[in-house]
């Protein structure tokens, strides 16, 4: 390793990245698999994944940075689900994907990527052409992470490292300077294990080490802006933002540290939200609670939609008042899913709330949700 590459890696570790590697700037090996994934419609409604300009840039990083000679790939470990206990009283509680427990990683990591570029330029005494991303650019980052020696792509489509597991946020810096590349990981350490595939509640994990977003809980609770298909709602369980099930069952995470980088430390009351309290969050309260958090990506209506489904899955009668309040929410998306939740509870109080709401509701989609929920009430009668 030359002195410059060694210094850059040392600085990256000082900035908090547990994993650092370098690969040459060349087309990714998995581009064909990515195109096939798009052709099958597995990207669901994420149209940005299929845009022609972005496809061309994913095919060759020089379409992003013509001067590119090296790609510096980094990984930062975040806290895993088992790092915090599940509350035993006062529930029901929801679950949030662990990467979203703390401050938004986009903000946290981008500052460090900028600092790393400044360090490199100071070492060379001149500007260096660069582009940096953390889940923000048209780059097949897991491909480059494997090529840079950070790990292998597991059967759930996530990068896995033998020491740090898969609870990793990846980032990359395309550089107009030649650094010494690392050896790629060529061994698949998943072996015959299929725990992630078997544990996925919606069978979203495909045999090609990719995921069908149409069925993935992370897509359904975050990227999906509309209604969650009724047939899939029970599979959400208690998840209100994202999903970590395939990571929770992975043996490599059981060997990895429970805690992650301190800068990604959990915020209070975010990992295990009290569902009834969340269901009545005002717009102002939502914005205040989740300022600077990845959860703001769903917006209030998406988050409360997810909370309503989790409450329906918990089916605890004492949560009916919160759901009754949600039936009068300004957002039709929230009202519709609150109606579904009340139908899952189907107590006399829940059914009265639905009947009252039907008399006042004017949105056709919400009325249809209420009517379906009332059928459950009749079944319980």
Q: Catalytic amino acids?
A: 135
The answer to whether 28 and 140 are in contact (CB under 8 A) is: yes
**CA dist., res. 153 & res. 145, Å (int):** 9
DSSP string across 244-280: -HHHHT-HHHHSS-S---GGGPPPTTSSS-BHHHHHT
**CA dist., res. 356 & res. 327, Å (int):** 10
Rg of the chain over Cα atoms, rounded to whole angstroms, equals 23
Helix, strand and coil percent figures for the chain, each rounded to 5: 50, 10, 40
**CA dist., res. 167 & res. 258, Å (int):** 9
DSSP string across 68-105: --EEEEEEEE---GGGSPPP-SS--B-EE-GGGSSS-H
First to last CA, the chain: 74
Q: Which residues contact residue 356 at a Cβ distance below 8 angstroms, ignoring those fewer than 6 apart?
A: 327
């Amino acid at each position: 390793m030359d002195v410059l590459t060694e210094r850059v890696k040392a600085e990256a570790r000082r900035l908090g990245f547990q994993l650092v590697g370098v690969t040459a700037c060349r087309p990714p090996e998995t581009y064909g698999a990515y195109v096939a994934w798009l052709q099958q419609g597995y990207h669901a409604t994420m149209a940005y994944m299929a845009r022609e300009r972005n496809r061309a840039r994913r095919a060759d990083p020089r379409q992003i940075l013509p001067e590119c000679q090296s790609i510096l790939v980094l990984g930062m470990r975040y806290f895993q689900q088992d790092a915090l206990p599940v509350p035993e009283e006062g529930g029901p509680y929801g679950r949030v994907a662990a990467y979203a427990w703390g401050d938004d990683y986009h903000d946290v990591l981008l500052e460090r990527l900028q600092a790393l570029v400044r360090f490199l330029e100071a070492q060379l005494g001149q500007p260096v052409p660069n582009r940096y991303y953390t889940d923000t650019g048209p780059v097949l980052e897991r491909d480059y992470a494997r090529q840079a020696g950070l790990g292998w792509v597991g059967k759930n489509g996530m990068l896995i490292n033998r020491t740090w597991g898969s609870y990793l946020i990846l980032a990359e810096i395309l550089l107009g300077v030649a650094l010494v590349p690392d050896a790629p990981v060529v061994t698949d350490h998943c072996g015959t294990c299929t725990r992630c595939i078997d544990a996925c509640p919606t069978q979203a994990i495909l045999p090609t080490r990719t995921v069908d977003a149409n069925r993935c809980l992370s897509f359904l609770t975050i990227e999906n802006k509309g209604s969650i298909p009724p047939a899939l709602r029970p599979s959400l369980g208690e998840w209100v933002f994202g999903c970590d099930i395939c990571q929770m069952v992975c043996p490599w995470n059981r060997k990895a540290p429970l805690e992650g980088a301190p800068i990604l430390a959990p915020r209070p009351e975010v990992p295990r939200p009290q569902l009834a309290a969340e269901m009545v969050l005002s717009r102002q309260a939502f914005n205040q609670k989740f300022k600077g958090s990845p959860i703001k990506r769903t917006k209030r209506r998406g988050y409360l939609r997810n909370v309503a489904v989790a409450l329906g899955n918990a089916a605890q009668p004492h949560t009916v008042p919160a759901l009754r309040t949600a039936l009068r929410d300004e957002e039709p998306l929230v009202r519709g899913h609150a109606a579904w939740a009340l139908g899952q509870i189907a107590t006399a109080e829940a059914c009265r709330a639905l009947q009252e709401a039907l008399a006042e509701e004017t949105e056709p989609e919400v009325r249809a949700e209420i009517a379906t929920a009332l059928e459950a009430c009749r079944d319980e009668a």
